[in-house]
Amino acid sequence: MESRAETRGAARPGPRREAEGFLFRPLRGNLDPLEAGRRLRARCEGALLLERAAVEGEPGYAVAAARPDRTFTVRGGRMEETDRTGQVLFRGTPQDLFPRVETYLGPRTEGVWGLPFPAVSGYLGYGMSGVFEELFRGTRSLRPAREPDAVLRGYPSLAIRDGGTGRWTLIHRRNPEEAEETGHRELDLLEAVLTSPLPPEESVPRTLGAPRSDASPERFREMVHSGRDLVHDGDLCQVVLSRRLTLETDLSPEGIYGALRDANPSPYLFLLDLGDFRLVGSSPETQLRVRGRRVVSRPLAGTRPRGSTPEEDRHRETELHEDEKERAEHLMLVDLARNDLGRVCETGSVTVPELMETERFSRVMHLVSQVEGRLREDTSPLEALAASFPAGTVSGAPKVRAMERIEELEASPRGPYAGALVFLDPCGDLDSCIALRTLLHRDGVVEVRTGAGVVADSTPEGELAETGHKAEALLRALRAAAGEEVVR
């Protein structure tokens, strides 16, 4: 049975362009979101592109933005807040990140726009796990990744495309101390960039090297053996182990994004230009979504490759639903999501309206459930996100113990992988997806990371194959972007 969660429910109220503190301007023309992102990234710092599929009655939308006026960075046990010029406005600890973001957003503004307005966007890397949870009883930290543990940015001006109408609107959120003319100048600049075409990208062959892994097949099999032993010994119920592939390439981030959109469309498509590196992804899994006081988590676990015919596809779906290992693993992760929401939701409000439905993607299908509850009045959406981080589907259970074992077993730090892409609007609403099927693009290299859940009856070959199935969707997109012939 197909998942229905992406289409049911009530939509937000329609646009209110007269909202106090906001400036609105229609953008004429039928600009493709990818071209909007390309124009912004070519001419501005800090470009963001997000395409979000329709969800629960709300239309899908696209967001294109650049020139953030605030950046919040967590690295090396410190948090730093800077303005557009790079001037440091605040230095503190990682625990200061969310309070400073909430201060930047200011008081909640109710009902200003019929679509989400992600005024703060960015990522939380897997390393934030050590901030939100005490690991190793405080005696050691996670290995530092090359990338910051978190980068969140404030965007005062955004271009938003309504997926229902195809129309773009430019929106500027005014600073209370800002003159209205300043906001109009910001919109003038955004409009000028988006309406000025770039020369078409040269149609030349691109290079794509062979993938190299941080964990050879032999080493990954040993990791699975070790994880399975920990489960047999009663130390864990499940642990999710991953490995990284690295490929040399001269592909552009936009080329990769376009290939992902064509070959592996997902609920979340994104491109974040973070200066030293770019994140390009097609994530299938919501980390946490908050609308008003309603909180939703959608654990996705249990995988089969797609069939080559409709009959084979249905056979594999039946096989997936009848696999006791996959069912037990999925139910355990649903329970973990219920526990995470139970920490921040009103007593008795957590329910599971969908259980083990099928969600199909280009190369694989998954089991997915929906867990939801009502957020306590004394808890913010960002606090709810922290309570659910990282998702059990990328760590294991019990969660803290699984994270400690991941740190001991995996060959390299995860960096952004298995963290979350975060989109927060001034209404206090939050949307986030797990950083899965996400490529890190830097200095002529792309990195791809995939994982598999290890339980008592896992086999090293089976879990190695699962990481391969998940990586193949991304590798096929890279090959297509490089101009190689890809058999569908």
Residues forming the active site: 366, 393, 417, 437, 453
| Diameter over CA atoms, the chain | 66
DSSP string, 151-215: EEEE-SEEEEEETTT--EEEEEE--TTS-HHHHHHHHHHHHHHHHSPPPPPP-----BPPPEESS
The candidate with the shortest Cα–Cα distance to 273, out of 90, 472, 66, is: 66
Q: Per the structure block, which two tokens stand in for 366?
A: 């998954």
For 414, residues 6+ apart whose C-beta sits below 8 A from its C-beta are 125, 126, 127, 145, 242, 406, 449
Tokens 């994530």 -> residue: 283
C-beta of residue 380 within 8 angstroms of C-beta of residue 103: no
Q: Per the structure block, which two tokens stand in for 305?
A: 């490759």
Q: How far is CA 301 from the centre of its chain?
A: 16
Query: What HEC string does 268-300 produce?
Result: EEEEEECCCCEEEEEECCEEEEEECCEEEECCE
Handedness of CA 347, 348, 354, 355 (dihedral sign): positive
Angstrom CA distances, 144 to 41, 163, 173, 434, 485, stand at 28, 39, 35, 20, 38
Question: How far is 226 from 220, CA to CA, in rounded Å?
Answer: 10
From first CA to last CA, the distance across the chain in angstroms is 24
